[in-house]
Structure 1
């Protein structure tokens, strides 16, 4: 990819984060064409009539031409040079099922997905390289503390773009920067992606503890232990020089663990209050990535024989039906 590539961008997904992506890209002043894959045809008809998403961030006006919105994912791929993947990780395979490796050729793939593909137990970058033969140099991951709801309100936010090729990261980052979006680039693609997965599990843990009645003092200790556990994990998986206190790591963990907009914290809070996993999922209108990630990350923990006390606690509660209070009390003895 070089600097004269046409800025035709396709966004795959139609939830709150994908809708926020559309807003960020259209508010950026650089010249570009934007194509949007929206799964439901009735939602496309609604957007055509009312210029906003009927289900998510309903106050955000959609500024791209209606003819650039399609329920056909191949249409978006065929018309785009840069593809932004923005579905829940558990739904990505279904969204891409009509595509093959040829559809990904000569394209830059940007993952805004902070989760693991459940069946393959792979982060998105690994899944794309193994399934579609995409070179890792053509994959960019987006990280950092940036909730869709605050983007919709144009509150100052920061995004980190991770890629092995920093020039590509810079080019894609330039398409997002605006008066309320600051951008950072990094070559720690694996560290950023794994950290984005882990912070959802830690936010679930925080929500569980809050639902059980643990206070802010305990939450602070939990999060300080979580960032150390995150650093330990990514250093084993991908050794390298990184500042774990940077916004793509600690910043994203903090906002996901504490924010009122955090779906993972909300999900965990429901579990702590006694909801079953199924009832909590039914009540939420959005996917809590940490639920799927908790199961997937256990395979990696076992493979490398890691001591991940917080991740293990969440897994025991969600997948082995262990009482939440029992598991948090066990964890509390291991925190420092």
Structure 2
């Protein structure tokens, strides 16, 4: 059970979303000590010296004690009772390299990752349970809608905290709440994790269509079909009572599909305009989770024999090198 009066929190990751979470935690009114794992030693030195992340959200002032910032993940995790994972899903294993199950014993582990671990093809909660023997009741999942860039500007945003244990979700949520962060509690751990994975694929689909020249009218139909497809998927894998129209599902989908800050939409837009996957990745210099998620979700679709036309379109374009124009034309005939 978390005691918020003396929480020590580790944030694992140093990208824009991790930097935004550092800001949220330091701006929250609850007293806590924050530790930050930053991948590159040279970035650690820079942040300690200048109190800014040189690579992401550089305008954000970092209010973490310099001695609490390190590139030694074991040192950071060992000092904390709450560990917040905030790397791209594809890089989580390398970030946690060297850690074993005993390093997480009795700790609450929070996933702010919106992707699937590629080799294992598992959502983060499943990976944590199988790899590190972390009990389900000690895992909290954070859902959106919330873009790092708007957190940096202190624009009112909402986060959903999902756990099988209501107390755990409430305790973690309280650590993030502030005048510009409102929190919502849920018990749909698996549904919110999969929803966060799928919305990146759907945002990528929206970007592809935009790059091809489709307008707002078509995008509205695409996203309305996407939320039904998401509902069908999460109900097939994790049946329980949920309202797919709430912010953790529909809200997160909408902001990722439409926002100027959405890297998945940007990535898809480049693909629609004719970029290769490799050239789009190089030009963005940021991870679009939807790219990796597409292959992982396709495997799940095949295993459970699900009908997911939007996800299938994205997979065909990204991995089977099919014509984006031809695939979207076929998809459009399927819409209702």
TM over 0.5: yes
**Residues 3/44 of structure 1: CA separation in 2 closer, same or farther (3 Å cut):** closer
Q: Distance in 2 between matches of 1:44 and 1:237?
A: 41
Q: What's 1:176 paired with?
A: 176
**Partner SS state of residue 206, structure 2:** helix
1:3 Cα offset (Å): 3.6
Q: What's 2:89 paired with?
A: 89
TM-score, scaled relative to structure 2: 0.99
Q: Distance in 2 between matches of 1:76 and 1:335?
A: 49
Q: Distance in 1 between matches of 2:284 and 2:125?
A: 27
Write out per-residue CA displacement over residues 95-115 of structure 1, whole angstroms, 9 at most, x where no aligned residue. Answer: 111100000100000000000
1:310 Cα offset (Å): 0.1
Q: What's 1:77 paired with?
A: 77
Q: What's 1:124 paired with?
A: 124
Write out per-residue CA displacement over residues 301-330 of structure 1, whole angstroms, 9 at most, x where no aligned residue. Answer: 011100000000000000000000000000
Q: Distance in 1 between matches of 2:187 and 2:3?
A: 19
TM-score, scaled relative to structure 1: 0.99
Q: What's 2:301 paired with?
A: 301
Write out per-residue CA displacement over residues 166-223 of structure 1, whole angstroms, 9 at most, x where no aligned residue. Answer: 1000000000000000000100000000000000000000000000000000000000
Cα-Cα RMSD:
0.7
Q: Distance in 2 between matches of 1:94 and 1:306?
A: 32
Q: Distance in 1 between matches of 2:6 and 2:48?
A: 26
Q: What's 1:319 paired with?
A: 319
Write out per-residue CA displacement over residues 247-274 of structure 1, whole angstroms, 9 at most, x where no aligned residue. Answer: 0000000000000000000000000000
Q: What's 1:252 paired with?
A: 252
Q: Distance in 1 between matches of 2:123 and 2:5?
A: 28
Write out per-residue CA displacement over residues 239-298 of structure 1, whole angstroms, 9 at most, x where no aligned residue. Answer: 000000000000000000000000000000000000000000011121000000000001
**Residues 63/266 of structure 1: CA separation in 2 closer, same or farther (3 Å cut):** same
Structure 1: runs of 5+ lacking an equivalent: none
Q: What's 2:101 paired with?
A: 101
1:2 Cα offset (Å): 4.3
Write out per-residue CA displacement over residues 87-143 of structure 1, whole angstroms, 9 at most, x where no aligned residue. Answer: 000000001111000001000000000000000000000000001111011000000
Q: Distance in 2 between matches of 1:2 and 1:40?
A: 30
Q: Is the 8 A contact 1:20 1:152 kept in 2?
A: yes
Structure 2: runs of 5+ lacking an equivalent: none
Q: Distance in 1 between matches of 2:94 and 2:5?
A: 29
Query: Is it true that 1:52 corresponds to 2:15 in the alignment?
Result: no
Q: Distance in 1 between matches of 2:152 and 2:80?
A: 24
